[in-house]
Structures are given as C-alpha cells and as structure tokens.
C-alpha cells in the first residue's frame, strides 16, 4: 500500500511536468494549427539556461536562491526563444502548415546540435540544495521534496492559465480563436498578437518543464536530447486530452504520468522489462483514440 501511494505521488509529479510540457503545445496547435516540434528544444534550452545560472552565479548566493533563479531563468529563456521563433520563423509561414512543421523540426535538430557542440553530449550536473534531494516524512511515507515542487508548479500554472483564459481580454480572443480563428479575424481582431502571446506562454511553460524535469526526474542532469524525449510524451498527452484544451491536457497528463509509474514498477519491476512504462502510454493513446478520436476534451470540428 505504501509503495502504491509513493508511486501515485511521483506519478502526479510526473503528470505535472507532462502538463507543463503539453499545455503550451496544445494551445499553440489549437489556436494556430502549428505542430511545434521545436517545443522539445525550448524545454532543453530552459534546462541549460538553468544550468548556466546555477553554475555561473556565485555560490555565495546560496543553493536555494540559485535554484529559484535557475527556475525563473529557464522560464524566461523558454519564453524568449519561443517568441523569437514565432516572429522570425513561424509568422512568415502562416497558411503553409507543412513548411511550419518542417521549420520547427529543422530548428529543433539544429538547436540540439548546437547545444551538443557548445556543452558536449554528456549530461551536466546542476547543483541543487540538499532539501530538494531529501524526502519529507508524511504518515509513514517518504515523499521526495522535488516532487512537491513539480506538483506545486503544475497546479499554479493550471490555475493561472485557466484564470488567464477565463478572465482577460486576450483569454477571450484565444478561446474564440481556438474555436474559429477566421471568425475572430472577421470581427476585426488582430489574431497575430494572440499567436505571438500563445507561443511565448507555451515557451515559458516548456522552459519551466525542462528545468523541473531535470530537478525532479533526471537526477539534476541536463542533456541535449532530454527535451525531445519529453516531447514525445507531451504529444501523447496533447492528443489524449484533445487538441486545444487546457483541462484536457491536465487530465491526460495525470493519467499518463500515473500509468507510466504504475506499469514500470508493477510490471517492469518484476519482469525487468523497463520500457513497459513508456509502452503503456502509447497503448493508452491507442485506446483513447479508438474510443474518442478527438481526445477526452477535444472540440467538435
């Protein structure tokens, strides 16, 4: 029972990171029909930005301050990278979806290559404060502190995004645009600004997901391909949740994170078949698509 609860806790933490990675992807696709393969690069860039901040700044600032600055820096770098990408590469190609997909794939490959050239392909260690590595003892369970960080970030972003979409002017434009972009344009609204904004928000969450994945699940290691392997699960979450739906992404991310943790322990742990966790998420995707081709919260076209 204890193991089950610990697995559930870390499944929720993994789900929180999948949500951060997927919600931006989902909003970008929902509003702009852009399948953004460079999202993995934004995550990796966020992690490397965090690494640079945590290692370059004087250690006299103290480990807790450094890790907070690293998380903020990762978010900002992800946002900036996404904003520049939208303005320079995506914007001239609206109406050419194949070109947009190809250019984001190209950017991802080139970016990862450049990171390998600059930082080497071996994983780098981010220094984190001890309390992030230690577990908290609650009711007979030892729960890793880093997971609390991931869950907290996921919940805050979910609430923040929902409030932004529900209450602000741009939120209304984005929700309307996800439903029918051409109609928003016909009303006389410049949808282009909303596009840039959605890309920036998505990039910020990608950067945050990148650094949190490093801290919570990869033993504080940063590597050039980490974003792309995370991106696969993000896409699975987006499709299960329904393209364009934030709530759908949240539910699907939880389901995928939990399933992955359970199967890799209960099946993979006993059989030694470690990949069963990853495989189970693909099976879940297949089952959901069979049952609801538009995903759990997908809009009806």
Contact flag: residue 2 with another protein (CB under 8 A) = no
Indicate which single residue of 56, 137, 169, 270 sits in contact with another protein (rule: CB under 8 A): 169
Cα–Cα nearest to 208, from 192, 230, 224, 235: 230
Residues 178-194 as b or e (16 or more Cβ within 10 Å = b):
beebeebeeeebebeeb
Stretch that binds another protein, among 62-70, 178-186, 212-220, 264-272 (CB under 8 A): 178-186
Q: What's the DSSP call for residue 36?
A: -
Q: How far is the CB of 85 from another protein (least distance, A)?
A: 20
Q: How far is the CB of 103 from another protein (least distance, A)?
A: 25
Given the complex with another protein, which of 98 and 187 has the nearer CB atom?
A: 187
The pairing of beta strand 141-144 with beta strand 135-138: antiparallel
Q: How far is the CB of 296 from another protein (least distance, A)?
A: 15
Stretch that binds another protein, among 76-84, 161-169, 263-271, 272-280 (CB under 8 A): 161-169
What is the footprint of another protein within residues 189-218 (CB under 8 A)?
189-190, 197
3-state secondary structure of 223: coil
Contact flag: residue 301 with another protein (CB under 8 A) = no
Stretch that binds another protein, among 16-24, 31-39, 106-114, 169-177 (CB under 8 A): 169-177
Per-residue H/E/C for 54-90 = HHHCCHHHCHHHHHHHHHHHHHHHHHHHHHHHHHHHH
Given the complex with another protein, which of 68 and 189 has the nearer CB atom?
A: 189
Indicate which single residue of 114, 133, 183, 274 sits in contact with another protein (rule: CB under 8 A): 183
Indicate which single residue of 136, 142, 156, 179 sits in contact with another protein (rule: CB under 8 A): 179
Asked if 243 contacts 295 with a C-beta cutoff of 8 angstroms, the reply is yes
Question: What does the block give as tokens for 165?
Answer: 């979409």
Indicate which single residue of 176, 221, 258, 279 sits in contact with another protein (rule: CB under 8 A): 176
Given the complex with another protein, which of 86 and 108 has the nearer CB atom?
A: 86
Angle between helix 2-32 and helix 145-167 axes, rounded to 10 deg = 30
What residues have CB less than 8 Å from 108, skipping those under 6 apart? 37, 38, 40, 41, 228
Q: Residues touching another protein: how many (CB under 8 A)?
A: 21
Stretch that binds another protein, among 16-24, 105-113, 173-181, 206-214 (CB under 8 A): 173-181
Cβ neighbours, 10 Å, residue 143: 18
* Interacting residue ranges for another protein, rule: CB under 8 A: 167-170, 172-173, 175-176, 178-180, 183-190, 197, 299
């Amino acid at each position: 029972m204890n193991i089950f609860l610990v697995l559930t806790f870390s499944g929720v933490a993994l789900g929180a990171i999948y949500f951060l990675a997927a919600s931006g992807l989902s909003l970008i696709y929902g509003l702009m029909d852009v399948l953004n393969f460079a999202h993995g690069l934004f995550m990796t860039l966020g992690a490397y930005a965090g690494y640079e901040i945590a290692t370059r700044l004087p250690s006299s600032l103290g480990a807790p301050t450094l890790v907070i600055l690293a998380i903020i820096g990762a978010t900002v770098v992800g946002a900036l990278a996404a904003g520049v990408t939208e303005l320079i590469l995506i914007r001239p190609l609206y109406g050419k979806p194949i070109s947009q997909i190809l250019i984001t794939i190209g950017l991802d490959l080139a970016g990862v290559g450049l990171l390998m050239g600059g930082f080497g392909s071996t994983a780098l260690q981010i220094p984190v404060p001890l309390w992030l590595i230690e577990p908290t003892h609650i009711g007979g369970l030892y729960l890793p502190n880093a997971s609390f960080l991931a869950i907290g970030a996921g919940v805050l972003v979910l609430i923040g995004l929902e409030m932004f979409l529900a209450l602000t002017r741009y939120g209304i434009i984005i929700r309307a645009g996800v439903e029918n972009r051409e109609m928003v344009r016909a009303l006389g609204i410049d949808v282009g600004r909303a596009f840039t904004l959605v890309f920036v928000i998505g990039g910020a969450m990608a950067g945050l997901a990148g650094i949190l994945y490093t801290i919570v699940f990869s033993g504080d290691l940063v590597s050039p391909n980490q974003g792309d392997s995370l991106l696969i699960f993000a896409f699975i979450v987006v499709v299960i949740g329904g393209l364009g739906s934030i709530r759908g992404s949240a539910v699907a991310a939880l389901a995928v994170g939990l399933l992955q943790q359970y199967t890799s322990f209960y099946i993979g742990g006993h059989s030694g078949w470690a990949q069963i966790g990853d495989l189970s998420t693909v099976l879940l995707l297949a089952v959901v698509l069979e049952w609801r081709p538009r995903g759990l919260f997908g809009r009806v076209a």
